[in-house]
Amino acid sequence: MTLPIGNLPDTRYPDPRIEPLDPRFVYKQGNAAIERIATGFRWAEGPVWFGDHGCLIFSDIPNNRMMRWQESDGHLSVFRAPSNYTNGNTRDRQGRLISCEHDSRRVTRTELDGSVTVLIDRFGGRPLNAPNDVAVASDGAVWFTDPGYGIDGPYEGHAAPAELPRNVYRLDPGTGVASVVADDFVRPNGIGFSPDERKIYIVDSGISHGGPAHIRVFDVDGAVLRNGRVFADDFLPGMTDGLRCDVDGNVWCSMGWGDPAEDGVRCYAPNGDLIGKIHLPEGCANLCFGGRKKDRLFMCASTSVYALYVNGKGAGP
């Protein structure tokens, strides 16, 4: 019997939607393809892997909810609703969920018993704009960006004037007190450490407001950043939003808002060379590594979440 073409799966090994540009690109799986593991969201963001629960948690910002996708059986359920229009998520070294909430304009920690602790909602007596993305260092310091997309209008939070510059902050693990670590971004966005935490990568998605579309990298010197320089700036007319590093120091970042042929994920070597692309049918906002071996890349792309096994592992929690 011959099946009609329309019934054949849209999968071929090796997946032609993966584009190696350099031998350093760690995607070498001949028999793995991009999978759409969940769909039906308005704007998927903020993925974080919970290995102890075998699940991915991510945000669906305009729907004011967070979702949970169970790896064992693909079951999808609501993790938290309302979520205060939560955007970026990560975990600290104690396994606690750290979230950037747009509507409530704060960064929170979900304790192991489920209760929520507010880590910060004001700086210098003024409300934060709308925290976007977050990374936790191994010393417990919480580094986050505050561009304020969540107060631009009602879709991802609520309209309000920005009362603070669009800063990058660090919450001290001992005192809990925040300090500004970068104040010259137009719209600071995705943030992530190199595997050794000696460098931190921060996206400026300011193109949406007359600024740049690039990734900057800084040397981490204790509680301060030094030697900021542009790491990658070849995104126009699109831009990147979120990023994560793998254990080899490669920087994986989202791609969208420009040429549809460039939608998906990019991988940059530690020296800034673009070494590979993953093409998705939707613009991508953010990503993380997960799976039992931390070798599965999860990509939040507009209305769907995609996954791909790679020949590498995610760094950090």
Among 63, 90, 108, 132, binds Mg ion (CB under 5 A): 132
Residue 27 or 188: the one with the smaller Cβ distance to Mg ion is 188
Among 71, 204, 241, 246, binds Mg ion (CB under 5 A): 241
Judge whether 249 and 195 are in contact, CB under 8 Å: yes
Judged by CB under 5 A, which stretch of 60-68, 70-78, 185-193, 218-226 contacts Mg ion?
185-193
Residue 18 or 287: the one with the smaller Cβ distance to Mg ion is 287
**Cβ at position 144, least distance to Mg ion in Å:** 11
Residue 17 or 102: the one with the smaller Cβ distance to Mg ion is 102
Say which amino acid occupies 281.
P
Which residues fall within 8 angstroms of residue 34, CB to CB, at 6 or more apart? 15, 17, 18, 278, 280, 306, 307, 308
Which residues fall within 8 angstroms of residue 99, CB to CB, at 6 or more apart? 46, 66, 83, 86, 88, 89, 107, 108, 109, 110, 134
**Cβ at position 50, least distance to Mg ion in Å:** 20
Among 101, 133, 152, 246, binds Mg ion (CB under 5 A): 133
CA pair distance 244, 287, nearest whole angstrom: 7
Binders of Mg ion among 206-225, rule CB under 5 A? none
Residue 133 or 246: the one with the smaller Cβ distance to Mg ion is 133
User: With binding defined as CB under 5 A, does residue 302 bind Mg ion?
Assistant: no
Tokens read off for 315: 């760094």
Half-sphere exposure of 288 (CA within 13 A, CB side): 27
Residue 133 or 152: the one with the smaller Cβ distance to Mg ion is 133
For 63, phi and psi rounded to 5 degrees?
-85, 5
Residue 25 or 298: the one with the smaller Cβ distance to Mg ion is 298
**Cβ at position 241, least distance to Mg ion in Å:** 4
Judged by CB under 5 A, the number of residues near Mg ion is 5
User: With binding defined as CB under 5 A, does residue 99 bind Mg ion?
Assistant: no
142-145 and 199-204: which strand pairing? unpaired
Judged by CB under 5 A, which stretch of 13-21, 167-175, 236-244, 256-264 contacts Mg ion?
236-244
E strands, 52-207, are: 55-60, 65-70, 76-80, 86-91, 97-101, 106-110, 116-120, 122-123, 126-127, 134-136, 142-145, 168-171, 178-182, 188-193, 199-204
For 204, phi and psi rounded to 5 degrees?
-110, 110
Among 90, 189, 302, 304, binds Mg ion (CB under 5 A): 189
User: With binding defined as CB under 5 A, does residue 254 bind Mg ion?
Assistant: no
What residue ranges bind Mg ion (CB under 5 A)? 132-133, 189, 241-242
